[in-house]
Amino acid sequence: MNETATVSFEQLAYSQAAQAFLDREPRLFINNAWTASSHDATIAVEDPSSGRIVSRVVDASDRDVDRAVAAARAAFDDGRWSGLAPMARERTMNRLADLIEAHADLFAELEAIDNGKPKGMAGAVDIPGAISQIRFMAGWASKVAGETTAPYTLPAGKVFSYTVKEPVGVCAQIVPWNFPLLMACLKIAPALAAGCTIVLKPAEQTSITALKLADLVAEAGFPAGVVNIITGNGHTAGDRMVKHPDVDKIAFTGSTEIGKLINRNATATMKRVTLELGGKSPVVVMPDVDVASVAAGAAGAIFFNSGQVCIAGSRLFAHKSIFDEVIEGVAQASAFWAPRPSLDPAGHTGPLVSREQFDRVMGYIEAGKRDGASVAVGGDAPAADGYYVNPTVLVDVNPQMSVVREEIFGPVVVAQRFEDLDEVASMANDTCFGLGAGVWTRDLATMHKLAARIKAGTVWGNCHAMIDTALPFGGYKQSGSGREQGRQGINAYLETKSVIIQL
Ligand code: NAI
Ligand code: MG
C-alpha cells in the first residue's frame, strides 16, 4: 500500500519441466509404484506468489494410509532393507543424493512455485542441504555398532555379553512446509541408514518436491516399500499415521501445538517420538560489536525465508548504548529482504506460504500495534495477489505482548533494550521455547558465559541459523524432544539390545 505498489508482483513463467510435473495426475507413492487414492479427495496446490491454483495432490484417506503403512511394515519385517549389507544401503542412499543433485534446478523451481521462497534461495540452501543430509547419514549405515561389555556383578569368563543396535522399525515421518524437501530428506536419511522403513507425509501446503523425490527413490534402487510417500491433511492422514498400530516411531517437525497432540496420541502404543517444534529465538547484541555488520546479521536472522524458520531470530536484544543504531541498521538492511515473486532472480524472500499464514502474521502485527508496540519499519503488506508481507521491526514492546511471547513465523522481529549480561540472559530465557539463540560479541568470555546461560538446543556466536548435518539439532523446553542430525540423529532410529549368554 506504499511505494512498493509501483513494483510488479507478477509471477514469472514456469519452465516446461516444472509445468509437466504439475500437470501429473494426483497419485500416492506406495511400494515403489504410483497408485491412485481409494477416494477422489484432492488438495489444491497454490503458488503463493500469485494465489493461483497450479496443481492438485491426493488428500490421502485412512485406507490409503493403511496401505502405505502395510507396505512399510512388510518391507521392514522381511528384512529386504535392514538385511542388506550396510555398504549396499550406503550406496543406494548416495545414488539418491546424486539423483537429487542431478535434478537440483527442477527441485529449486518446484520449491519456489509451491512454497514461495526464491528459487535462488532454494537452490543455494534447501536443495544442497537436503543432499548433504543424505550423504552424511549414508556413511552411518556402516558405522552403527554395539559393544562388548564386561559385566559388573558377575565373575569374568562366566558370561559373554554384548549390545547390538537394531533399527526401530516402521517410521511415520511428518514434515512442515517451510523447508519441504530439506525436511523430508532430514527425516528419511537417518531412518534409511539405520535400516528402518518409512511412510513420509509432506505438509498439505507443500507436497510437490516430496512427490518429485519419490520419482528418484525407485530410480536409486531402494527395494519396494522402503520409502512410501503420501500426501494428505494433518488432522486426517497425519493423525492416522500417528495412531497406526503398525507404526513403531514418529518423527515430526511442526507447531508446538500439534507436537504435543502427537506426543499424547503416540502414548497408547508407546511409539518412539522425536519432535522438532516451534521457537522464539533470541538474538543478543552486546555493546562491543561493529554495529553495521551485526545489524545486517540480525536482519538476516529474522528475515531469511520470510521468518518462516523455527530458529528465526525473532526476539532482538540490543544493549541500550547501541539500541537505536542497531534498529536503524536492521531497518536499512530490511530493504535487501523485501519480498518478490519466487521466480524473480532479484528476490531474496518471497511471499508467505499461504493465505492462512499471511492472515496469522498480519494478525500478530495488528495485535502488536493494539498493545502499544511501535513500527520501526514495515508493519504492512504490498498490494499484490500473493501473500507478501514487508519485513517488520517492532519496538516499544514488553514481555506481556503476544508478539513477544508467541511464535509468529513471519518476517517480524521484536526489539528490546538491556543493561547487562545477567539481565539479557534472563530476558533471553523468559520463553517457553528453547530452540536456538544468537550471541554477537567480540569478547570471548561474554560469548562463553552467554552460551552457558541460554537454555537452547543450539547457540550461535556471531552468526545465526548456521546448520550442519554433523551437529545435533533440537530443542530445550517446549521446542521439542530428541535430537536430529549427527550421531544422535541416527540413534533416534535405533533400539539397543543387550545379549547375555551364560558360558
Ligand atoms: P502444523 O504443525 O499444523 O503442521 C505441520 C505438519 O503436521 C503438517 O505436515 C501437517 O499436515 C501435520 N499435522 C497437522 N495436524 C496433525 C495431526 N493432528 N496429526 C498428525 N499430523 C498433523 O503447522 P501449521 O498449521 O502448518 O502452522 C502453524 C504454526 O506452526 C506456524 O505458524 C508456526 O508457528 C508453526 N510451525 C513451525 C514449524 C517448525 O519448523 N518448527 C514448521 C511449520 C509450522
Ligand atoms: Mg496446523
Q: Closest residue (by CA) to atom 29 of ligand 1?
A: 255
> What whole-number percentage of the chain has pLDDT above 90?
98
Looking at residue 404, what is its pLDDT? 98
Q: What letter does residue 40 receive in the DSSP assignment?
A: -
**Residue 309: how many other CB atoms lie within 10 Å:** 22
C-alpha dihedral, 245 to 246 to 251 to 256, nearest 10°: -20
Please state, in angstroms and rounded to a whole number, the distance separating the CA atoms of residues 498 and 496.
7
Distance between first and last Cα of the chain: 81
Instruction: Give me the phi and psi of 400, to 5 degrees please.
Output: -85, -20
- Give DSSP secondary structure letters for 343-369: T-TT-SB---S-HHHHHHHHHHHHHHH
C-alpha cell at 489: 540423529
CB of 312 shorter than 6 A to ligand 1: no
Interval between CA 177 and ligand 1 midpoint (Å): 8
Please state, in angstroms and rounded to a whole number, the distance separating the CA atoms of residues 126 and 47.
18
Looking at residue 2, what is its pLDDT? 47
Please state, in angstroms and rounded to a whole number, the distance separating the CA atoms of residues 40 and 479.
37
Looking at residue 7, what is its pLDDT? 79
Annotated active-site residue in 111, 310, 407, 484: 310
Look up cell 539479557; give the residue: 424
Looking at residue 84, what is its pLDDT? 98
Residues 300, 312: contact at Cβ < 8 Å? no
pLDDT one-digit tens code per residue, 25-77: 999 999 999 999 999 999 999 999 999 999 999 999 999 999 999 999 999 99
Looking at residue 27, what is its pLDDT? 98
The residue to mutate among 258, 276, 402, 473, having the most atoms of ligand 1 within 8 angstroms of its beta carbon, is 258
CB of 182 shorter than 6 A to ligand 1: no
Q: Which long-range contacts (CB under 8 A, 24 or more apart) does 450-458 make?
A: 450/284, 450/421, 450/424, 450/425, 453/421, 453/425, 453/428, 453/429, 454/282, 454/284, 454/425, 454/428, 454/429, 455/429, 456/281, 457/483, 458/311
**Would you say residue 450 has pLDDT above 80?**
yes
**Would you say residue 238 has pLDDT above 70?**
yes
Looking at residue 6, what is its pLDDT? 66
C-alpha cell at 397: 514492546
- Is 463 catalytic? The answer is no
> 243 — alpha (psi -120 to 50), left (phi > 0) or beta?
alpha
Q: Average pLDDT, stretch 439-463?
A: 98
**Residue 268: how many other CB atoms lie within 10 Å:** 10
Q: Going by DSSP bridges, is the β-strand pair 197-201/227-229 parallel, antiparallel, or unpaired? A: parallel
Burial class (CB in 10 A: 0-12, 13-18, 19+), 2: exposed
Q: How confident is the model at residue 4 (pLDDT cuts 50, 70, 90)?
A: very low
**Would you say residue 5 has pLDDT above 60?**
no
Within 13 Å of residue 112, how many CA atoms lie on the same side as its CB? Answer: 32
Q: What letter does residue 123 receive in the DSSP assignment?
A: I
Instruction: Report the length, in residues, of the chain.
Output: 503
Q: Going by DSSP bridges, is the β-strand pair 412-418/249-253 parallel, antiparallel, or unpaired? A: unpaired
Q: Average pLDDT, stretch 337-341?
A: 98
Segments in 171-290 forming alpha helices (H): 180-194, 208-220, 239-243, 256-267
pLDDT one-digit tens code per residue, 164-202: 999 999 999 999 999 999 999 999 999 999 999 999 999
**Would you say residue 3 has pLDDT above 80?**
no
Interval between CA 255 and ligand 2 midpoint (Å): 7
Q: How confident is the model at residue 399 (pLDDT cuts 50, 70, 90)?
A: very high
Q: Closest residue (by CA) to atom 16 of ligand 1?
A: 234
The residue to mutate among 235, 255, 467, having the most atoms of ligand 1 within 8 angstroms of its beta carbon, is 255
pLDDT one-digit tens code per residue, 281-300: 999 999 999 999 999 999 99
**Which ligand is the nearest neighbour of the Cα of 265?**
1
- Is 310 catalytic? The answer is yes
Strands of the sheet with 374-377, listed across from one edge:
374-377, 392-395, 412-418, 315-319, 282-285, 436-440, 458-461
> What whole-number percentage of the chain has pLDDT above 70?
99
Q: Average pLDDT, stretch 134-148?
A: 96
CB of 261 shorter than 6 A to ligand 1: yes
